[in-house]
Structure 1
Amino acid sequence: MDLQIALLLAQDGLVNGAIYGLMALALVLVFSVTRVIFIPQGEFVAFGALSLALMQMGRVPPTLWLLAGLSLAVLLIEAWRASRGTAVNWFATLGWCVVLPGLAAAMVLLWRPQQLWAQSLITLLLIAPLGPLLYRLVYRPLAGATTLMLLIVSVALHLVMVGAGLLFFGAEGSRTPAFSDAQFQWGEMSVSGQFLVVLGTTALLVLVLFVFFERTMVGKALRAVAVNRVGARLMGIPTDMSGDVSFALAAVIGGVSGLLIGPITTIYYDTGFLIGLKGFVAAIVGGLASYPVALAGALLVGQLESFSSFWASAYKEVLVFTLIIPVLWWRSRNSRHVEDEE
C-alpha cells in the first residue's frame, strides 16, 4: 500500500464514517428519549434515496401512498382514543397526519419539479412524518414495555418495512445524481465535490443539532425527558410529544443520509439495514448515550471498514461487527449493574 492508496481509503472511510455518524446520532437520540432501539432507522435511508431516484425518473414515489396509509391509520386511532375520553393533542396530530402529508402530496402530484434541490426537499417532506407516525402507531401503545420488548417490536417493524420496500420499489437498485460533479486535486489526492458535500452537510447537521439541544426550549425538553422521563412529566413536559419530535428528527436524519449516499453507491430496498447496523455499532461505542463518542465511533467504523476492504475484503463486515465485542466487554467491566425493576 502506497501513500496515494492510503489517502483514497482514508477519504472513503471519512465518507462512510460521516453517514454512520448520522445514523448513530439518530439511534442515540431515539433511545435516550423513548428507550427504543430503532432497528428500522436504515429504512429511512433506503426510502429516501429510492424516492428521489423515482422522482428523477418522473414517477410518483410510492412513499407517498405509505405516508397516506399511515396517516389515515393514526387519525382513526386518535379518533378512537378521543371517543374513549383520552385527551388528544389534535394540533400535533393534524400536523403530522394532514398538513405535512398534504403538502408533500401537493408538491409531488402538482408541482413535479425537475431541480435536484426541490426533489430533495420533497423527499424530506415524505420521509419526515414517517417517524412520528410509526411512533404513534407502533411504539406509543407500548410506552410502559421493557426495553427487550421494544427491541423485539423494532425487529418486527424492520421486517415489515423491508417487505414494504420490496413491494414499493422492487428488487432493482438505483442511484441518484450527485449534488456536485466538481473535482479538486490536493497534492496526490483527488477530492470529489460529492465528498465535500457529504462532509459539509454532516458537519452542518451536527452543528444544527447541537444548537437545537443547547439553545431551544424543545431541545432542552428532549434532554430532560432523556435524563428522567417521570421527572420531566411531573414538570409539565409532554413525553408523548417528545417521542414524536425525536422520531421526526431521526426520520429527517435518515432521509438526509439517503440523499447523501445515493450518488455514491447503488441503493436497494434492503441496503438501509447494513447502514443502520453499522451506525448501531458506532452508537454502542458511545454507550447509546454520548453523541460525541458515538460520532468518534462512527469515524472509527468507517476507517476500519475502508482499510479492511483493502486488506481482507471478504471479511470487512466481520471485522466491523467484531468491534462491538471488546466495546461491550469494556463497558460491562466498567458499568454498575442494576436489576431491571430498579
Structure 2
Amino acid sequence: MPSETEIVEALKAAGYLAPDARPRLECLTGGVSSDVFRLDTPAGPVCVKRALARLRVAADWRAPVIRSQYEVEWLRTARRFAGAAVPEILFEDRSRNLFVMSFYDPQTHPVWKPELAAGRVDAGFAGQVGRMLATIHAGTAGSPEIAARFETTALFEDLRLAPFLRRCAEVHPALAHRLIPLADRTAAARIALVHGDVSPKNILHGPDGPVLLDAECAWYGDPAFDLAFCSAHLLLKCVWKPDHASAYLDAFYALQRAYLPGVAWESPADLDSRAAPLAAAILLARVDGKSPADYVRTPEDKGFVRDVAKRLVAEGTPAMAALAAVWKEALGTR
C-alpha cells in the first residue's frame, strides 16, 4: 500500500495538485486490484485510483497495470452513452497508472452489495442496471473505431477467462470439454464494449439510478459476459442471505427483462443463449476459481454452489430463465 505522501507527491509531480498543496487523502476500503483514495480538494472531494500489479487475493494473481489506461478509456467511452451512470474522468497520469474521477458520497450513493445484503432489494433498480448495460452495449456494438481502442483480449484473458473459466477446467477436468471451448469462444468474440466486472460491489445505488465503477477488465468482446456476470452475483446472494432469496430472484428476472429488449445489434435470444453457460461457469468460478466470492464461506454453501453449478455446466442451459429455474428448484431442496 503506498503512503498518502507518495500519492500526493505523484499528483503534484503530474501537475494535478499545486506544489504547495496539503490536501487530505483517505484510503478507501475494498480495493482488490487497485489502491483507491478519497482526496479532498478546494473544489470538493475526488477519487484517486492506481492499479496494482499483484491483486489482493490468496492466489498469486498478477495483471499488467496498463489496464488502468483502458479503464479510463472505458469510462470516457461509456459516459457518452450512459451519462451520469458512469463517473467523469478528471485527470489521468498514464506514466504512474493513476487517475482521478468523480467521488460519490456513500450517504447518497451506497454500494449495491451491502444494500442487497441488508435485504433492501429493489427489482426496479436491477432493471435500471439492465437498461444501462444494454445502452452501453448498443451504443458501442459494431464500432470499428471503439474496437480498435480496446485490443485488450490478453488482459481479459488474464483477469477473467484464465482465473475464472480455465481455472475451473483445471479444478474440474471432467468439465474441461465444456469450459475450455466456452472460454475460447468468448475470447474470440468482437461485438461490443464490455465492462467485465458488473458486480454489485462495483455499482452504487444512487438516487437517480445506478453508477457503474471499476472497469479494469474493459474489453471489446461479448456483451453476454456482462449480463452473465451480474446475474450470477444475484443468484449467489440467494445462498448468502437465504431469507431474501425470493427478492434476489425477482431482481435477477428484472435485470433480464430490462436488458434483453435493448439488444438491437443481434437476436436477444442468441445473446441469452451465450449468457446462460457463461453465468453457470461464473457461479462455479466463485467457489473454485482464483477469486472466490468472499461471502460464500461455509462448506455447506460452497458445496451447494459447486454442485448446482457443475450440473448447469455439464448439462448446458439454453437461456438465463432456465438457469434461474434450476437454481430456484435447488434452493427449495436445501
Bigger helix share: 1
- TM-score, normalised to structure 2, is 0.33
Bigger strand share: 2
- TM-score, normalised to structure 1, is 0.32
Max Rg structure: 1
